[in-house]
Chains A and B, each alone.
Chain A
């Protein structure tokens, strides 16, 4: 856990932040991250983030849940302990539909949310790494790593877009 120097710019609205991000990127300066109180649409694209792979993880968990549920029921009722219920087939596939569906949903939901939390490092009691605690209320922040950016240029750029303050700080993000 090491600290690093960042240029932190704060805004009071999402629109100037979005414009600033586009211009910083256009100038070829890498951005570490942006911090906002709510999801700002288009910000992930402006930052050049790839689409999240969580839907793919969810699909995999879905396939896993579906297979496990169907296999479990078929094995238990069809092979391990078949019951003679009025001579009807022990492998009653239509009867397995509801539980297969429920378990598919359950395992998909738990698996995906688990992946999301672990991948993002969100665990009970984890420390929040953010440049400004007002970011969860009404402040929109941009963090630019100092080692690859020119402070004066960035300061001017962010201020031109209406930043409330721009400062260089050594923090852990």
Chain B
């Protein structure tokens, strides 16, 4: 396929197919680096904290959280929505960008999808534990029972959420694994002994035949077509948990698009946080280039601006509705007792992403890393603001209350970060973090060397049309 030599390269340095296999497979084959061990041990400590707090919670009951009669959703649901939102970037990269034929996705889709799966696992733990008795969680599914049968209530958005999250998790996992099979075969065919057996088991007998690739591409395309509306539906349904209620500040029709944009926004921030570390630690700078970081920053800028406009629209509509409760909810958000959370959200989500209008900042790794952390924090506060400030002062002033988390909630949040990073470190060690086959398929169009060759063939001075390469 022809690609104009003015395009920016997506793979830098010397690139042969064997070289690409070596670069990516070596990370799986070699002993982990010192930084991997340090990161993994810190994550394991977090996981330990998670196990400790969850055990304490299960033994004692949900009363160990700081929730009360008025504020009955707190850090648990905040964390749930935050984690689900983070997952959205992975699906966006793997599905929506595949449909749009964006070549840069090949370098980042594998790790972004892994991030999705791990984030949804973390998210799932919160409603599971919030339910109070996780050992009867199967009651949410419409299973025949001796109470009637008394079925699940399909009129409830909370039940829609059960179906949305479990479908999202399953489909993401299947999509990820289908893409992994050819790369697992690559690892299998380089390995020996026990490793060959294990990767052979996981690679499902993949042989790279033309028929298999034809089916593979067909399946990938349809899965992408399914995952695209799916990912939009998931956060839409999450937002309906709020929007279909009558709490002032929740009962708004803007929620679905606003939640989806926010999810993609926070997800890309987390992708950047992870990839900036990973490309350095695993020496993948030739594959995850500054151009990749640049385009992701543009997505952050777009979605961040959508989120910013949504905040302003919400405020306007609260005033325009002339409903006193609605107006009060928003004034209380900005100037009430939780003002600090609101302004933390506004600063991190509205102001910081606007810095990405500057090309210099978009391509400055340190700046991008810091901004991505700001966005992660800002989006956490967004969920906290929506949930806690709306609940703590509703229609009846006599039931107004304040909420603050206990050490168990804080421990579980830090612990869930530990769970997430433990899974991510294991992934980075044992599975190819870049889609090897997919990267090879863009070599002939987007590798630096090949762009130079095309220019030479056409008698174009590469220095003139593509100064980045020269």
Contact = CB atoms under 8 A, between A and B. Distances in A.
Contacts of B55: none
Given A49-B210, A49-B211, A102-B233, A37 B440 contact: yes
Nearest to A125: B201
B395 interface: no
Contacts of A95: 154-155
A126 interface: yes
A127 B219 contact: no
A123 B216 contact: no
B58 interface: no
Interface in A117-136: 117, 119-130, 133-136
Contacts of A39: 213-214, 216-217, 437, 441
B204 A33 contact: no
B171 A72 contact: no
Contacts of A128: 185, 188-189, 200, 203, 205-207
Question: Is the contact region of chain B dominated by helix, strand, or loop, or is it mixed?
Answer: helix
Interface stretch (A2-10, A22-30, A73-81, A152-160): A73-81
B150 interface: yes
B434 to A, nearest CB: 13
Contacts of A36: 208, 210, 213
Contact of B213 (A12, A44, A54, A102): A44
| Band of interface residues on A | 35 or more
Contacts of B229: 101, 105
Contacts of A43: 210, 213
A109 B171 contact: yes
A129 B154 CA distance: 48
B167 A106 contact: yes
A120 B105 CA distance: 27
Interface in B121-169: 142, 148-155, 157, 159-160, 163-164, 167
With most chain B CB atoms within 10 A of its CB, the pick from A108, A110, A116 is: A116
Contact of A136 (B174, B182, B222): B182
A105 B167 contact: yes
A133 B186 CA distance: 9
A109 B226 contact: yes
Given A44-B214, A101-B233, A113 B205 contact: no
B445 to A, nearest CB: 11
B211 A105 contact: no
Contact of A58 (B178, B201, B222): B222
Nearest to B156: A95
Contacts of B189: 128, 133-137
Contacts of A127: 205
A103 B210 contact: no
A33 B186 CA distance: 19
Contact of B21 (A49, A54, A123, A137): A137
Contact of A126 (B18, B186, B205): B205
B309 interface: no
A73 B215 contact: no
Interface string A49-89: 10010110010000000000000110011001101010000
B206 A80 contact: no
Nearest to A97: B160
Nearest to B203: A128
B216 A135 contact: no
A103 B170 CA distance: 11
Contacts of B152: 76
With most chain A CB atoms within 10 A of its CB, the pick from B157, B175, B215, B441 is: B215
Given A38-B182, A125-B204, A137-B189, 8 more contacts: A36-B213, A44-B211, A49-B210, A81-B149, A81-B150, A101-B229, A128-B205, A137-B17
28 contacts: A34-B209, A35-B207, A35-B210, A37-B17, A37-B436, A38-B213, A40-B210, A44-B211, A52-B218, A76-B154, A96-B154, A98-B163, A98-B240, A102-B167, A106-B171, A113-B223, A116-B178, A123-B204, A128-B188, A128-B203, A129-B207, A130-B207, A134-B189, A136-B206, A138-B16, A138-B17, A138-B18, A138-B21
Interface of A: 12, 14, 33-41, 43-44, 47, 49, 52, 54-55, 58, 72-73, 76-77, 80-81, 83, 85, 92, 95-96, 98-99, 101-103, 105-106, 108-110, 112-113, 116-117, 119-130, 133-138
